[in-house]
């Protein structure tokens, strides 16, 4: 598979799916759901220019420190000594992929809606915590190293998860009183289909093809644990 990918006989999307499968990740287990990278950092321009390297996320860094200013906090957390010596050191107390995160992204689609409601003791979580906007989700990641969710494959092929086709009442945001309905898209996307098309194109772009191995090292490779993980600020609780 690796050689096929290097020779560009399979797409970046297919390669990531196969890596996830080999790592034991599966759509049948929310706790081991396939994980995909955030690949863009530009969610505000009117047009998305895939020839400009500045629109892409730095794939060599864990999502928690893509924004350089979070690195200090992350290092401090790692250097905190557990007085009882019970807890191994870590940079992040949450994970880049977990069941709640999958439900968070897929809340508008069954069976994930029902699973979310069960998780929240029979109701929807408060609107401010819902997945309501792609630009706002990215901004929250940049503002704080506490949320380190990467993406799921659906961001590259499944426009329906961005629409509230079932008309669920997901509440309204506290500050703006905005009703949470369809997911707010980046300015450069004119519809959920257009978002998926451009996002998939970004995944297959020259820039990502040249740098995707750096992210793979963090998630599936030698920077997952040990000294390389410490150096890369990539140690999870």
**Is 47 part of any domain?**
no
Q: Which residues form the domain of 132?
A: 1-42+57-232
- Specify the pTM: 0.94
**How high does pLDDT run on average in the chain?**
95
**Is 227 part of any domain?**
yes
**Is 176 part of any domain?**
yes
pLDDT one-digit tens code per residue, 26-35 = 999 999 999 9
Residue whose structure tokens are 């690949």:
39
Average pLDDT of 117-141? 94
Residue whose structure tokens are 């993406």:
151
Question: Using CA atoms, how far apart are residues 160 and 109, in angstroms rounded to an integer?
Answer: 8
Closest CA to 154 of 114, 102, 206: 102
CATH number at residue 129: 1.10.1540.10
**Is 132 part of any domain?**
yes
**Is 103 part of any domain?**
yes
Number of separate domains in the chain: 1
**Is 197 part of any domain?**
yes
pLDDT one-digit tens code per residue, 140-192 = 999 988 889 999 999 999 999 999 999 999 999 998 999 999 999 999 999 99
Question: Are 63 and 116 a contacting pair, CB within 8 Å?
Answer: no
Q: Dihedral of the CA atoms 213, 36, 182, 51 (nearest 10)? A: 10
**Is 118 part of any domain?**
yes
**Is 51 part of any domain?**
no
């Amino acid at each position: 598979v690796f050689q096929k990918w290097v020779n560009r006989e399979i797409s970046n999307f297919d390669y990531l799916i196969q890596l996830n499968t080999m790592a034991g990740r599966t759509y049948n287990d929310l706790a081991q759901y396939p994980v995909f990278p955030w690949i863009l950092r530009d969610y505000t321009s009117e047009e998305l220019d895939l020839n400009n390297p500045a629109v892409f996320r730095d794939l060599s860094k864990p999502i928690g420190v893509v924004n350089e200013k979070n690195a200090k906090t992350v290092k401090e957390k790692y250097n905190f000594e557990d007085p009882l010596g019970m807890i191994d050191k870590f940079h992040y107390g949450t994970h880049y992929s977990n069941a709640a995160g999958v439900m968070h992204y897929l809340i508008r689609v069954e069976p994930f809606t029902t699973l979310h409601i069960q998780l929240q003791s029979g109701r929807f979580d408060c609107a401010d915590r819902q997945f309501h906007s792609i630009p706002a989700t990215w901004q929250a990641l940049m503002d704080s190293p506490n949320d380190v969710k990467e993406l799921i494959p659906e961001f590259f092929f499944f426009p329906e998860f961005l629409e509230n086709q079932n008309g669920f009442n997901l509440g309204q945001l506290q500050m703006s009183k905005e009703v949470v309905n369809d997911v707010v898209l980046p300015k450069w996307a004119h519809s959920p289909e257009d978002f998926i098309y451009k996002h998939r194109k970004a995944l297959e772009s020259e820039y990502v093809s040249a740098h995707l191995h750096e992210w793979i090292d963090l998630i599936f490779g030698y920077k997952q644990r040990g000294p390389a993980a410490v150096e890369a600020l990539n140690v999870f609780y």
